[in-house]
Chain A
Amino acid sequence: MFINTLLMALREIRRNVLRSSLTVLGIIIGVAAVIVIVTLGAGTTRQVQDEISKMGSNMLTIMPGGAMRMGGSAQSAPPFEMADLNAIKREATSLAAIAPVSLRPMQVIIGNDNRRVNVMGTDSAFSEVRNWKVVEGRLFTDSEVRAGKAVCIVGNTIKEEMFRGDIPLGAVIRIGKVTCEVIGVLEAKGQAMFGGDQDEVVVLPIRAFQRRLAGSSKISQIYLSARDVAGIQDLKGEVERIMRDRRKIAPGAQDDFNIRDMTEVSSMMQSTTGILTGFLSAIAAVSLLVGGIGIMNIMLVSVTERTREIGIRLAIGALETEVMLQFLVEAAALSAFGGLVGITLGLLGAAAIAPALNVPFVWQPSTILTAFTFSAMVGVVFGFMPARRAARLDPIEALRHE
């Protein structure tokens, strides 16, 4: 019986192809939008996870300021000094590597090319901490770091774009008013989590950065790595104790610096993505609601149009429930069909948009199944009222209907 009802419904839908298509347009748009948003959201999440594993999951960063929120720390707290690093190096037993980092966007001039680039002052340990290798040339030597020599390592984008792909070893570039010699090229890292090209960077020995570019001996961040992932929490505890001691923070008072590990960054990113995805999905769901009302509208028209047919069926001996089922199945088939088209369009759309946003295309069977079930449910819910109206028709009246 159900198969027959379904076949009957499909035939009825085929009979009015144009009307059926227009009816389900709302469902198609709603489902497609949800699929695009959820798929891109999943892609972003995947990207964040990849990013974190690329950065080295046992990495910690220390920044001045209280508990950090999205958008930057309170800069009122004093920055760090080399002595802080030395203390951590001496006292922290779980430490694998530690690197000072000072960052500043500056004008970099190579030949005729001139652009604003992130300039980073650090020492050779940053390569180990950030899990970021030099693919051509070499890292700084200890004497270069100690002397603050004007040598630099450039990111892949600098090599590809400003040097037009030539290996720039030995070339001289200008950073602001300072010239320095290129001694190495970093491996490509790609897009950063918060946007921006990580490879558009020039790295100098910290002391060269401090003396020649910044004019101060401040260190804005410290990167450290634990021996392994299990050691992260130990290292965090040790560093917090050392830093509180050095910065003379009274017991019970809040830290004026904060230590973050990558799992925090990742969960923060993921909750942000999650909120955004949920919010956009809610908007898209409104379209599903509108689509459902469209289906209800057309089903009501259909019931009126087919009053005579309903009368015939009732006279022939159809039960109320059977007439009701017929119209419900029709509405559900209609909206499920819209769901299928929407899913297809959504996946195609997401696949097209993902590369433009530099996000991997991640398709989740569970999302698709949910979207399909949901769209069919929309048909059942919004088809209910018209179907009941059809089932309750008086056969005598219905047969008389013109």
Chain B
Amino acid sequence: MTAPVIAFDQVYKVYGKGDTEVRALDGVSFAIQPGEFVAVMGPSGSGKSTTMNILGCLDTPTAGHYFFKGADVGSLSRDQRALLRRHFLGFVFQGFNLLGRTTALENLEVPLIYRRLDKTTRRRMALEALEVVGLKGREDHTPGELSGGQQQRVAIARAIVTQPSLLLADEPTGNLDSARSHEIMELLTRLNKERGLTVVLVTHEEDIAAYAYRRIEFRDGKIVRETDTRRAA
């Protein structure tokens, strides 16, 4: 068994105190191996968003440990977590979250700028990533000039341009129609298969979750069910 990319060990996340205390995560443990394609499911308020925030090193557990490549993220500083995100994580959001009035190419360059890469390298990597998501020739288009599906492709390209260890997709198809949604899911599946990219996907749609091999279902801050379709198959 290879070392897990990520591991939750009895993670608690508690908001508020006393009577208003809310346990967003209530002792959650799981591990994800490199190359997995995992769907995190659950109704709203079940703790899946909190899980994503902690997975993405944007938030830290109240108690318990989150290990990312062996490092205990809870003990890291804000800047150290930023560096983790910079070098190992890619984010895809429901609302695309591209920089407005900025071309696709420039959007892709942003994470590369923070990696201190020079202009030529940035351009080359950005163009490659755009080609992978099937947007070759659209590099000079701004988000306003692209359809929702194309914008999400640019966002995926931005997430993978740095060749991260883990791609976190938070309801990536939430703002798209079903045809576009399936195109996006096929793209993520392809990236997972061809590049061995570890993907964690949050969704509440059954047919979207079906693209993943493994499913973790949350309810009231606890994991209620885990299934692995590969084993089942």
Contact = CB atoms under 8 A, between A and B. Distances in A.
Interface of A: 1, 4, 15, 308-309, 311-322, 395-396, 399
Contact of B87 (A317, A319, A399): A317
B113 A1 contact: yes
Interface string B54-72: 0010110000000000000
Interface string B64-91: 0000000000000011001111110101
A216 to B, nearest CB: 86
A53 B110 CA distance: 64
B82 A319 contact: yes
B111 interface: yes
Contact of B78 (A4, A15, A311, A320): A320
B97 interface: yes
A319 B82 CA distance: 6
Of A313, A316, A319, A321, the most chain B CB neighbours within 10 A belong to A316
Interface of B: 53, 56, 58-59, 78-79, 82-87, 89, 91, 93, 97-101, 110-111, 113-114, 116, 158
A319 B113 CA distance: 12
A316 B85 contact: yes
Given A309-B99, A312-B97, A315-B58, A320 B113 contact: no
Given A396-B53, A399-B93, A312 B113 contact: no
A399 B158 CA distance: 16
B110 A313 contact: yes
Nearest to B102: A11
A317 B114 contact: yes
A399 B99 CA distance: 12
Contact of A317 (B83, B99, B100): B83
Contacts of B111: 316-317
Nearest to B99: A309
Nearest to A321: B79
A399 B59 contact: no
Nearest to A313: B110
Contacts of B78: 320
Contact of B86 (A317, A320, A321, A399): A317
A309 B158 CA distance: 14
A313 B106 CA distance: 13
A314 B53 CA distance: 13
Contacts of B98: 312
A315 B113 contact: no
A96 B89 CA distance: 91
A211 B206 CA distance: 121
25 contacts: A4-B113, A308-B97, A309-B99, A309-B100, A311-B97, A313-B114, A315-B91, A316-B86, A316-B91, A316-B110, A316-B111, A316-B114, A317-B82, A317-B83, A317-B84, A317-B86, A317-B89, A318-B82, A319-B79, A320-B79, A320-B82, A322-B114, A396-B53, A396-B58, A396-B59
Contacts of B100: 309
Q: Which 5 A-B pairs have the closest CB atoms?
A: A317-B86, A317-B85, A316-B111, A4-B113, A312-B97
Given A312-B99, A396-B53, A318 B114 contact: yes
Contacts of A315: 56, 58, 85, 91, 97
Contacts of B87: 317
A396 B49 CA distance: 10
A331 to B, nearest CB: 19
